Amino acid sequence: MSLIYKSTRNNNETATASEAILRGLAGQGGLYVPTEIPRLETPFKDLSAMSYQEVAYEVMKLFLTDFTEEELKHCINNAYDKKFDTDHIAELVKKGDAWFLELFHGATIAFKDMALSILPYLLTTSAKKNKVSNEIVILTATSGDTGKAALAGFADVPGTKIIVFYPKHGVSPIQEKQMVTQRGANTYVIGIEGNFDDAQTGVKKMFSDPDLAREMAEAGYQFSSANSINVGRLVPQVVYYVYSYAQLLKEGQIAEGDPVNVVVPTGNFGNILAAYYAKQMGIPFARLICASNENKVLFDFFRTGCYDRNRDFILTSSPSMDILISSNLERLIYQTAGRDADLNNKLMQELSQKGSYTVTDQMRSQMEVFYGNYGSEEDTAEAIRTMYRECGYVMDTHTAVADSVYKKYVAETGDKTITVIASTASPFKFTRSVMNAIDPAYDSKGDFELIDELSRISGVKVPQAIEDIRSAPVLHDTVCPTEDMAVHVKKILGID
Ligand SMILES: *Cc1c(COP(=O)(O)O)cnc(C)c1O
């Protein structure tokens, strides 16, 4: 049976999985959504005996129905290999009261690797299937982690170029160093004088500019997206939620059918949406706990039903969650609106025109599986400090936001259901914030001195991704105002 994808903004626009992956974004700024979430028929007993790659195949074949078994296995096996520093690809470890699903064992030590190590294979396979001869230009806005993971995934992939825009003053020093030292003749990295939302809006604008699309086509190019709006990002993210449930079963921590709660540190709502899809596939997840930092637009949304981006953008120690427009929420809005593109479109127009919209009570009632809360900067630092003191385990700032929200959730509800916390980055990616949380006296030390100290106190070897940038030369130093993003893209492609 083949699964069809539809645009959230146009009831008549459909695509196969490979077309949706190729295009990235649907017309008029819409996102592609499968017309239904497939049920996972593989018995849990079998899943719990499978490797990560095998689980990936069981899950992904249901979403990417126009890929052959051979194509999909080729993608999976090339993505989830020795680039990861553990054979399990994702590790599940118990610390304190919760299970941490470590999603940072890939090449760039953030969870974005889970999807971006496979996206280039999905995309080039999709291009082949659809007989696309244009060169594919990956246009990406990043709050820090997507950029590096996408660059690493697409560097020197034939038939592609990748252009990454990041907020010049809105990422951690290590995140920036990782990006600007990227090698590969097809990689371009540009800092913008604006925040992540500005970068994302600028990229979306280029995607929906028909004149630019025409000029691109004439020069033999077409855009695609490596952002989490691409279904080629979303689908691979469903895999690790299924895998985590299967691993808990395997370890005898739960019996088949037992409920499990999931906590996800959230920015663009992509990661937690994948957990929601896993639940709809039949994984017995109970509550999906959406953890925000001080940019708590989602907390307010789940509390009131009103999404309101009219507020100050706060730079926090968890920069990958410094987002006021959570793009993937649109997929939930569309679904709870009964897959009515017109109603969704009306709400999204309100968001772009007045910066806010309110969902109906009927829609809200379908969102009750989500619980939202947020961690302040102080909550986050305290979570890191406490976890280190009690368990000797060092969390990154994003994971710490999730941990602090988990504690609030338990205090509020008394719900002691087994809980998996998505651990989205290695602490080595946010060393200064992490070490300052443990002891403010660390602040006087240099970046790499701190890295060695973190390794010492945590007993964790410095990841290769960090070793790689110690002495790497800066290869990208372009900075531009937000308005000039398209000018730079044209210059890179030689179409100005
Ligand atoms: C991207 C990112 C997030 C947020 O994920 P979304 O899918 O955007 O909600 C959280 N933590 C880290 C470390 C990230 O890189």
List strands edge to edge, sheet with 91-95: 91-95, 98-102, 419-423, 260-265, 285-292, 370-374
Q: How confident is the model at residue 29 (pLDDT cuts 50, 70, 90)?
A: confident
pLDDT of the residue at 208: 87
pLDDT tens digits, one per residue of 228-273 = 899 999 999 999 999 999 999 999 999 999 999 999 999 999 999 9
282 occurs within a structural domain? yes
Centre of ligand 1 from the C-alpha of residue 491, in Å? 30
Count of domains for the chain: 1
- Would you state the structure tokens that stand for residue 413, as one six-digit string? 């509800």
Kindly give the distance from the C-alpha atom of residue 424 to the centroid of ligand 1, in angstroms, as a whole number: 7
| 116 is a domain residue | no
Q: What pLDDT is recorded for position 143?
A: 84
Nearest ligand 1 atom, CA 425: 13
Q: How far is the CA of 200 from the centre of ligand 1 (A)?
A: 14
Pocket test for ligand 1, best of 398, 403, 429 (most atoms within 8 A of CB): 398
| Residues within a 6 A CB radius of ligand 1 | 110-112, 145, 228, 265-271, 320-321, 398, 424-425
Atom of ligand 1 minimally distant from the CA of 274: 7
d(CA 146, CA 164): 9
Q: Which atom of ligand 1 is nearest to the CA of 399?
A: 11
Domain contains 432: yes
Expressed as residue numbers, the domain containing 379 is 91-108+233-465
Residue 195 to residue 54: CA distance in whole angstroms: 39
Q: Tokens 């974004």 identify what position? A: 25
For residue 172, the model assigns a pLDDT of 85
Distance CA 162, CA 493 (A): 11
Indicate which residue's Cα is closest to atom 8 of ligand 1: 268
Question: Counting atoms of ligand 1 from 1, which one is nearest the CA of 398?
Answer: 11
| 463-484 pLDDT per residue, tens | 999 999 988 999 999 999 999 9
Secondary element (H or E) of residue 66: none
Q: Which ligand 1 atom is nearest residue 269's CA?
A: 9
- Token pair 């370890």: residue: 251
Tens of pLDDT along 83-102? 999 999 999 999 999 999 99
Give 144 Cα–ligand 1 centroid separation in angstroms: 9
Distance CA 121, CA 118 (A): 5
- Domain for residue 364, yes or no? yes
Whose CA is closest to 412, among 297, 251, 267, 299? 299
Distance CA 280, CA 36 (A): 10
- Round the average pLDDT of the chain to a whole number and report it: 96
43 alpha carbon to ligand 1 midpoint, in Å? 30
Q: What is the mean pLDDT of residues 66-80?
A: 97
Nearest atom of ligand 1 to the alpha carbon of 272: 9
Task: Say how many Å lie between the CA of residue 42 and the centre of ligand 1.
Answer: 29
* 251-255, 392-396, 450-454, 468-472: range with lowest mean pLDDT: 468-472
pLDDT at 288: 98
Which residues share a beta bridge with 15? 5
Q: Percentage of residues in the chain with pLDDT exceeding 70? A: 100
Establish if 140 belongs to a structural domain: no
What is the whole-number distance in angstroms between the Cα of residue 495 and the centre of ligand 1? 34
Task: Determine the atom of ligand 1 nearest the C-alpha atom of 266.
Answer: 9
Name residue, tokens 């709400």.
347
Helix (H, G, I), strand (E, B) or coil at 480: strand
174 found inside a domain = no
Question: Tell me, what CATH number does 331's domain have?
Answer: 3.40.50.1100
> Does residue 397 fall inside a structural domain?
yes
Whether 176 maps to a domain, the answer reads no
**pLDDT for 430-442, tens place per residue?**
999 999 999 999 9
Per-residue pLDDT, 411 = 98
CA of 322 to the centre of ligand 1 (A): 9
